[in-house]
Amino acid sequence: MNMERRYILLVAPVVFGLVNWLPNDLLAEDLQEAKVTQVVQDVKVVPSGSAARPVVVNETVRQGNAVQTGSQSRSELTFKDETITRLGEKTIYNIGGGRTIELGSGQFLLYVPKNKGGAKVKMGPVTAAITGTTVLGRVYPSGLTEFTVLEGSACMHLDGVGQAVQVNGGQMVVYDPVYRTLEDPVEVDLQQQLTSPLVRDFRQLPSAGLIEEEIQSQHQVAAPNGDLDQAVRAAGAASIQSATPDQFMAAFNSLLVRYPPSQRRALVAGAVRARPDLAARISAAARGMQPVRSYYGKDAKDYKEYKGKEIAEPCPTTNYFPPPYIITPLTPQVNSPEKPPNGG
């Protein structure tokens, strides 16, 4: 038991450092109340200590209240700072203090305007820190959590463990409750994401232009990659599709070492789309090229901005796990031969 306490005390500062990235201006305007700006079918507000009742458009819901949607129901809440939250069916959404939003279960879309202080989204044991970003999230009854960035970036971390990873526009991260870990970010089709009822069935998002920029970027990456095609041919293959796995990876690795870090993400995304059968090998090769940076290193400025939309603080672009803590006894044990019994 004492050893467990020592472990918690030593790990706690690390965890605190990871979750304490949010800017100092977060308290300037708390997300303590919101106006209901759209209601579709069965939407209820659950005041603290009171029974649930139907909610109406233009009603104000405050800290301590929960908004609950029924089957085939949706709702939209707009906060004073123009932050927008949309709730899908069978969703429970708690309005917290400070700039923290808590999703009990279900699905949501969250748009946070740039330069408004950002927000934290708690989804069970997972927390996302976002500023100037549009995201989609879903928490399944099993605890499985999906988090997709439509534009901007977010820093995901696993509460109480210290694992953290940056998620950029067009990427999704999954939390697996069985293994209790955040999986590596994967590329998603943003055009497909826009078919979600939380986008399709509501007014146009203020960030629609930024999302379209991300979609156009994906289309450019999806187009035939001249560099990759030339590299594959140099490796002895007739085309990208006909290249053997070894030929393709040799071509990809030859480009990876030459590409500047700012362009590697586009190269990786294009390679994965061209050869999805090699996605695991492509991602592993890319991770090997990305240095693990200190949270407070000199190059932290590289993480403060993503396509003009800042993130709260430096966040690791690779899946970060805190180093294991090895417990050593306070008093080292000295091995010594047993003494012979008295009188022997």
**Residues 159-186: pLDDT tens digits?**
878 888 888 888 899 999 998 899 888 8
Q: What is the pTM of this model?
A: 0.66
In this predicted structure, what is the pLDDT of residue 114?
86
Measured CA to CA, the distance from residue 110 to residue 271 in angstroms comes to 30
Residues 40, 71, 60: CA angle, nearest 5 degrees: 40
pLDDT tens track for 114-154:
887 788 888 989 999 988 899 999 999 999 999 999 999 89
pLDDT digit string, tens, across residues 8-58: 333 334 333 433 433 444 444 567 889 999 999 999 999 888 899 999 999
pLDDT of residue 311: 38
Confidence of residue 222 (pLDDT cuts 50, 70, 90): low
pLDDT tens-digit profile of 247-288? 999 999 998 888 877 677 778 877 877 887 888 888 888 877
Which of 41-50, 203-212, 315-324 reaches the highest mean pLDDT?
203-212
Which residues does residue 172 pair with via DSSP β-bridges, in sequence order? 148, 186
Are 240 and 274 contacting, i.e. CB atoms less than 8 angstroms apart?
Answer: yes
Instruction: Provide the 8-state DSSP code for 113.
Output: -
Q: What is the DSSP string of 30-85?
A: ---EEEEEEEESSEEEE-TTS--EE--TT-EEETT-EEEE-TT-EEEEEETTS-EE
